[in-house]
Amino acid sequence: MSGVWLMPTALAVLSLLGLVAAILGDGYWHGICWFALSVPLVVCAAKLRRHWPRDASPDEAG
C-alpha cells in the first residue's frame, strides 16, 4: 500500500472498529469505542493545528 493511502486507511479502520464496538456491547466495548473513535479526531485536530495560519504578532506586522 502506498504511503499516501496508509494513514487514511488506518483512520478508516479505526473508525469502523469503533462503530462496530459501539454496536456490539457494553462495558469494555464502550472503552474500545471511545478510544477508536477518538484517535481519528485527535489526528485531524493535530494536523489542522499544525497547518493553521498563524497571525502575525504586532512586532512582525510592521
Task: Give how far Cα 18 sits from Cα of 9, 10, 32, 48, Å.
Answer: 14, 12, 6, 22
- 25 pLDDT band (50/70/90 cuts)? confident
Residue 56 is predicted with a pLDDT of 61
Half-sphere exposure (Cβ direction) of 27: Cα atoms closer than 13 Å: 2
Measured N-to-C along each axis, helices 28-51 and 3-24 cross at an angle, to the nearest 10 degrees, of 150
Indicate the pTM of the whole model.
0.72
For residue 25, give the H/E element and its range: none
Residue 52 is predicted with a pLDDT of 85
Only one residue has cell 497571525, namely 55
pLDDT tens, position by position, 34-58: 999 999 999 999 999 988 888 766 6
8: its cell numbers: 487514511
